[in-house]
Amino acid sequence: MHNAIKWVILPLAVLLLSACTPVINRKLSPPENTQWVNIEITNPSPYTQPFPLEVRYISNKCQKKRISGFDGSVISEPSYGAVHVPMQQNGDIWSGKVAITGGGICKWTLSAITFGIEYIDATHMGKDLVLGTAVGATFAFEHSAVRNGVFEHLSNSDVTLSPIYYPVIKTNKLIRQNDSLHLFGKDDFIKKRMLNLSQTVNIKFNPVLDESKIVRMVAPEKHIVGEFYKIIYPDGTVVSDGSIHPDIRKMGE
């Protein structure tokens, strides 16, 4: 009987908490004196395109509340708000800007920005290819944004990145009938932590796409213990050791 009562009370506590928690106002209103992050991306191919900036803000003023799964206590945490910022095209150059101080009632401040490129057309690489994952970079602007991953700290407010990416065609009949086309590099998403936010930040992303070297990954057609992806490199080398990401060192870098 004790366990039954506990399971009834916990959802009720969640309902009461939800009723008492105010709706978070996620409207942004950058002040006139805010600093900006200017992002410029050079699109490396007519078959790729930068995706909209994925921006996350944090508010320590408008906190959200949740119940701890350990002891049922109420925990207050910062709130987050996400927004997609479309980029403006001028030939091969795409640009966008993001306010470091988002302002608004909740005094939003910039937490992180993710940007990059993705394939938008795969017809030149093969018939009926499904478009796959993107590549790019994530820039963190406050400490909680670096919890998931290793970020390089930067004090310079002007940053230029020129990573090299390659296409990889994946065959996995257990997931989909058609092959899929992806991009990969040394780091699919470069991670940087900006330390100096007292001035405008300028980020230039000039990726290079080398389609002369194509990697193929073929998954087993059945779930069999000890059977892994076969990764086939441009020089004909085949690796099947449990890796699920191509080794950039085998691309001649």
- At 111-132, the pLDDT tens digits run 999 999 999 999 999 889 999 9
Residue type, 242: G
Contact 141, 68 (CB under 8 A): no
Of 63, 50, 149, 62, give the one whose Cα is nearest residue 95.
50
pTM of the model: 0.85
- At 170-224, the pLDDT tens digits run 998 877 889 999 999 999 999 999 998 888 999 999 999 999 999 999 988 777 7
Domain boundaries, the chain: 23-63+75-209
